[in-house]
Amino acid sequence: MGDLFLSFNPQTEVIFEFSGNWLAALSVLLVVPQGYWLVKGQYEKFFLWIIELFVDQLRPIFGKMVSPGSFLILLSMFVFVIMTNFLGLMPYVFTSSSHLSFTLSLALPLWLGKMVLSVIKQLNYNLAHLVPEGTPGALMPVMVIIETVSLVIRPGTLAVRLAANMVAGHLLLVLLGGQGASLGGLVLIGLMIGLVLLVTLECAVACIQAYVFTILSSLYLSEHSSLSMSKMGE
């Protein structure tokens, strides 16, 4: 079982057991070369097409009242997560998005910053938001507890969802790939075809999980954006 989870170990036995595998996350910066900003080509057109589609998905969530820079922050998060997921599918590359410490560091700061700002700017609205309209008086204390818990666990659920989906696919690839040495003939061919299909599925999962992670983050942030912008306008 130790070899099964060896690819998820961030420790590298180089000097003082330095966690050098985390540096693999910085290799995302090399995916978009400098030539992208200098030379116009099909790569730039494809990238801009992805950006337009993603922004079109975010506009209905935030509506007309949107904070300046919100799209840019969420777009940067989406590109970073999807590139990290794809790099984790390459051989001998550490999958940083499979660790809760990585995914939680993406989900928690944005959520926490928005919550602190909304509490400072609109405390009464946030307290009233804990009790849905039409709730009977006897159920109000229970609803406050339920809404508070659901509000607090949001970054945790985002982090666990992304990490669990990435770990599940990688473990399945390791389990199936480890059986190839003991197989032969048509069974081995069937296993290779299954692995190719599974890698294709993992590529789709890498895109979908990055999209879901970013969209859910935007949904959580948009709950207080409209009121905050209306107050800023006043």
Average pLDDT, the chain: 75
**For residue 84, which of 207, 204, 175 has the smallest C-alpha distance?**
207
Instruction: Render pLDDT for 121-162 as a digit per residue (tens, 0 to 9).
Output: 776 666 766 776 776 777 777 777 887 788 888 888 888 888
Residue 33 lies in a domain: yes
91 to 21, 83, 113, 219: CA distances (angstroms): 13, 15, 36, 34
**203 compared with 230, residue with greater pLDDT:** 203
Q: Which two tokens stand for residue 143?
A: 């609803």
Contact of 199 with 89, CB cutoff 8 Å: yes
Q: Global pTM?
A: 0.76
**Average pLDDT estimate for 21-39:** 66
Query: 53-57, 135-139, 209-213: which range is least confident on average?
Result: 135-139
Please say if the pLDDT value at position 183 is more than 80.
no
- Three-point CA angle 121, 123, 124, nearest 5°: 125
Q: What is the residue whose two structure tokens read 């009977």?
A: 136
Max intra-chain CA distance, the chain:
74
Residue 234 CA to residue 229 CA, distance in Å, equals 9
d(CA 58, CA 53): 9
Domain of residue 96 covers 6-233
Task: Report percent pLDDT > 90 for the chain.
Answer: 0
In a domain, residue 25? The reply is: yes
Q: Which of 62-66, 75-79, 121-125, 178-182 has the lowest mean pLDDT?
A: 62-66
- Convert the pLDDT of each residue in 79-92 to its tens digit: 888 888 888 888 77
Asked whether residue 73 is assigned to any structural domain, the reply reads: yes
User: Could you tell me if residue 184 is inside a domain?
Assistant: yes
Residue 5 has pLDDT above 70, yes or no: no
Q: Tally the domains of the chain.
A: 1
- Per-residue pLDDT band at 228 (split at 50, 70, 90): very low
DSSP tag of 185: T
For residue 198, what pLDDT band results from cuts at 50, 70 and 90? confident
**Position 1 in a domain:** no
CA 137 to CA 139: how far, in whole Å? 5
